Amino acid sequence: MSIFKKKEQTRVLPTHIAIIMDGNGRWAKKRSLPRTAGHVAGAKTFKNIARYCNKIGLKYLTVYAFSTENWKRPRDEVKGIMNLLRDYLKDAENFKDENIKVNFIGDRTPLAEDIKELMKKNEEGSKNATGLTLNIAINYGGRDEITNAVKKIVNSGVKAEDVTEDLISQNLYTYDIPDPDFIIRPSGEYRLSNYLIWQSAYSEYWFSDILWPDFTPRHLEKAINDYNHRNRRFGGV
């Protein structure tokens, strides 16, 4: 037996995890259920994972809830997702009691007025929370976000030679939060799907075949363990 004890590796928790919550429809199809049933199950998983992230001390969690492209889905499915969003927003007062700060990123313009009011109420009600900052992407698209940022910069009269990466970052929806260290995508797909494409330049990725409604804290811990074996060089050696 060696006289030298192996030094235990301290787990490093990412500062910011982003998740693409994918696979709700396929989860429902496998069970011969309507797609809306998959979204209901996925919403339960979302709440469970958000609370677990807060419990383990994660600083930022960003989830992809509804993209700018999702409007192309069947009308009944979109209506069901929006009703789920309403239910969540009405129930989100519970997050305030758990010291979770809730933010929404994306273009709110096409959303129903009652949803926009509920979003505003949730942000105002949780703004002093000091636990997890939960960012929910609703009607969000990475290209749309960058396009809108450029428009704001141009309209402000900034000269082309004065445009910098920092200036663009300051005009994104995520201007006041750090870029994601780690992006998780379940469901067996291996693409970004227009999600945080500016912010993810140096993010680490973790893909899994598990469908989102089946995703548990155990899977999250497995992903974080894998993150701890990555060597983030940011373009260096």
User: If you average pLDDT over every residue of the chain, what do you get?
Assistant: 91
Residue 144's pLDDT band (cuts 50, 70, 90): very high
Active site residue 70: yes
Active-site position among 48, 70, 148, 194: 70
Q: What is the pLDDT of residue 237?
A: 46
pLDDT single digits (tens) 87-130: 888 876 667 789 999 999 999 999 999 999 999 999 999 999 99
Q: Which residue pairs from 50-57 have beta carbons closer than 8 angstroms and sit at least 24 positions apart in sequence?
A: 50/95, 50/100, 50/132, 50/134, 51/98, 51/100, 52/217, 52/220, 53/17, 53/132, 53/134, 53/220, 54/98, 54/99, 54/100, 54/131, 54/132, 56/13, 57/13
Active site residue 22: yes
Q: What is the pLDDT of residue 95?
A: 75
pLDDT single digits (tens) 122-142: 999 999 999 999 999 999 999
Q: What is the pLDDT of residue 218?
A: 98
Residue 27's pLDDT band (cuts 50, 70, 90): very high
Q: What is the pLDDT of residue 222?
A: 97
Check whether domain 16-145+179-227 has CATH 3.30.70.3000, yes or no: no
Residue 4's pLDDT band (cuts 50, 70, 90): very low
Q: Is the pLDDT of residue 5 over 70?
A: no
Active-site position among 22, 54, 122, 135: 22
Q: What is the pLDDT of residue 87?
A: 86
Residue 9's pLDDT band (cuts 50, 70, 90): low
Average the pLDDT over 208-235 and give the result.
Answer: 91
Burial 216-228 (b: 16+ CB within 10 A, else e): eeebbeebbeebe
Please name which of 159, 169, 204, 198 lies closest in space to residue 184, comparing C-alpha atoms: 204
**Domain residue spans of the chain:** 16-145+179-227
Segment among 45-49, 81-85, 174-178 with least mean pLDDT: 81-85
Residue 221's pLDDT band (cuts 50, 70, 90): very high
